[in-house]
Amino acid sequence: MDNELIKACEAKAQAWLSSSVYDAETQQEVRRMLESDDKTELIESFYQNLEFGTGGLRGIMGVGTNRMNIYTVGAATQGLSNYLNKNFAGRQQIAVVVGHDCRNNSRLFAEVSANIFAANGIKVYLFDDMRPTPEMSFAIRQLGCQSGIILTASHNPKEYNGYKAYWDDGAQVLAPHDKGIIDEVNKVKAEDIKGLNVKLNADSPLIEIIGEEVDRLYLEKIKTISIDPEVIQRQKDMKIVYTPIHGTGMKLIPRSLQMWGFENINTVPEQMVKDGNFPTVQSPNPENAEALSMAIALAKKIDADIVMASDPDADRVGMACKDSNGEWVLVNGNQTCMIFLYYIIKNRIAMGKMKGNEFIVKTIVTTELIKAIADKNHVEMFDCYTGFKWIARLIRLNEGKKQYIGGGEESYGFLAEDFVRDKDAVSACSLLAEICAWAKDQGKTLFDILMDIYVEYGFSLNQTINVVKPGKSGADEIKQMMVDFRANPPKELNGSEVVLVKDYQTLKATDNKGNVTDIDQPEPSNVLQWYTAEGTKVSVRPSGTEPKIKFYVEAPGKMKCPNCYAEAEKKALQIVEGVKKSLKL
């Protein structure tokens, strides 16, 4: 082991022992690590400071500078408080919302944060219990706050927790505030943290507990998204199976479905238990088939029409439906996003609700079929970077001029409304049930609707290939791969000429004739895209959170009839294999 690194970690750990800021239990744990012969845990806990990035904090819970604990959370909140007090210096009263999910320590971290905000003179609206992330976004806007935080690690494993910061529009923080907050957080020392006492200071006039009154306003507003309430009335007995996977969705999603008029909502009892250990799943991620297995088992038992699952903070939705053979199949994130936007556009047109100034948003790595749907129906579509803060930015820029009617990304996030500024599984599940009712009203399933889209707009298959490169050497390798791809972009993929290269780092697009055009995005990003003559699209980007480089392949195809799906899928998979061969993956 690196002796220099061990010495540096020991010095940082000793500082935790010599300071009166840290509680006895924490210091005892630090002592145990220092005295242990195996220094692995000490190094993992102290080799760096848990970095407050543009999305906030995320890490494993435990003692140390590189762990989620009341001190790292406290420093983040103190830094955010300092930034808010500087940025809104002229305001009589700065206010924030504090929310949290079902994870272990989430309530503790939320209460510690509330105390710190209050000790810095900031008014706090603290939710009385766990709530979905999108409701926290809604509350910022509804209560006229300047910021908000939610304690959640989304769909990460149980060891993790996280801290996400939001701005006054209810969206995750963007430039210049993201960098400004990071600078303030990095300046904070443990001794600077005001009000770092573990017990909630509930008597503080600056801390107000909120709950049911916000729930009601939020759910009433979500009900206004419904496009065709009559179809729900006709299909109100449709069988829905829903699971919150032990998370915050249990609070509001069944209730929202009832408010929309659905009467046959079946939840998975074992997973309707609030539990940060997520005992019934390997990972609480609705993208994984395993997380939906109990819900699908229940669906088979009662012959349900649809299965829905939300992740622990209820911002992502996963779903399953019956295919043409009556077998339960998972619908992926690209397909889900496409079904939502297809239904919204088609049925707003049918109901005479379009005024001509509507727009939708997708991320640059999400299926291009959405653009085909938008173009054919004369609806404006914007492309943005991965992450809902970019969708929120486009809503903000077009406010008062154009009407946002929906947006999403391939990673199972969708937002149907503009009174929330982050992905929302509460509204998404309600709208998904309406789409299913609309399909059933025509004697169809959601799978049939998906086949209809492919027949009308063309087929495409999306596959993400993750190349994992752990450690520092892996990070260097990933960096070099991007450098090499820029220096020598592929001339062909699967035998088809690359006719367009988009480089989001230079914000330039170059075609095969050498013509260069500008890409309209707010800032550079380390993403490359290649488009081939046959219509294949490949996007490449290093992951911001994990040691891997991601290749998003979209292979095109044609489907002349709903029964041609298997053939189209087979051909598209061959294209994906060809692309992998071309890129030596």
Residue 32 domain-assigned? no
201 and 242 fall within a common domain: no
Angle between helices 70-87 and 106-119 (to 10 degrees): 40
469 and 572 fall within a common domain: yes
Which pLDDT does position 55 carry in this prediction?
A: 82
Which pLDDT does position 203 carry in this prediction?
A: 86
316 and 414 fall within a common domain: yes
Residue for token digits 């069944």?
A: 254
Which pLDDT does position 200 carry in this prediction?
A: 87
Helix (H) or strand (E) holding 266: strand 265-267
CATH of the domain at 566: 3.30.310
494 and 522 fall within a common domain: yes
Write the DSSP symbol of residue 173. P
312 and 263 fall within a common domain: yes
**DSSP code per residue over 356-399:** S-EEEEEETTS-THHHHHHHHTT-EEEEE-SSHHHHHHHHHHHT
Which pLDDT does position 1 carry in this prediction?
A: 61
275 and 326 fall within a common domain: yes
CATH of the domain at 389: 3.40.120.10
Provide the token pair at 449: 């609707």
192 and 277 fall within a common domain: no
Question: Tens digit of pLDDT for each residue in 551-565?
Answer: 999 999 999 999 999
Cα 317 off chain centre by:
10
324 and 289 fall within a common domain: yes
DSSP bridge pairs for 466: 550
Q: Which of 410, 440, 470 is the last residue of a domain?
A: 440
Q: Which of 213, 237, 265 is the last residue of a domain?
A: 213
Q: Quick check: 530 and 365 in contact, CB under 8 A?
A: no
Provide the token pair at 4: 């220099």
Instruction: Say how many C-beta atoms besides its own lie within 10 A of residue 498's C-beta.
Output: 20
- Which value, in Å, is the radius of gyration of the alpha carbons in the chain? 25
C-alpha closest to that of 390 among 181, 174, 137: 174
396 and 466 fall within a common domain: no
Helix (H) or strand (E) holding 123: strand 123-127
Residues spanned by the domain of 333 = 228-440
Between CA 515 and CA 241 the distance in angstroms is 52
Which pLDDT does position 202 carry in this prediction?
A: 80
Residue 6 domain-assigned? no
Residue 493 domain-assigned? yes
Residue 16 domain-assigned? no
Residue 445 domain-assigned? no
In terms of Cβ atoms closer than 10 Å to its own Cβ (0-12, 13-18, 19+), residue 221 is: middle
235 and 203 fall within a common domain: no
How many structural domains compose the chain? 3
Write the DSSP symbol of residue 563. G
C-alpha closest to that of 544 among 58, 34, 110, 103: 58
Which stretches of the chain score pLDDT less than 70?
1, 545
3-state secondary structure 454-517: HHHHCEEEEEEEEEECCHHHHHHHHHHHHHHHHHCCCCEECCEEEEEEEECCCCEEEECCCCEE
Q: Quick check: 425 and 310 in contact, CB under 8 A?
A: yes
Question: Tens digit of pLDDT for each residue in 99-126?
Answer: 999 999 999 999 999 999 999 999 999 9
**Pairing relationship of beta strands 328-331 and 358-363 according to DSSP bridges:** unpaired
Provide the token pair at 25: 């239990």
352 and 260 fall within a common domain: yes
201 and 235 fall within a common domain: no
Residue 41 domain-assigned? no
Residue 505 domain-assigned? yes
Residue 435 domain-assigned? yes
Between CA 562 and CA 559 the distance in angstroms is 7
CA distances from 116 to 95, 182, 185, 201, 256 (A): 13, 17, 13, 10, 34
By annotation, the residues acting in catalysis are 154
Q: Quick check: 42 and 10 in contact, CB under 8 A?
A: yes
Q: Which of 440, 472, 501 is the last residue of a domain?
A: 440
Which pLDDT does position 27 carry in this prediction?
A: 96
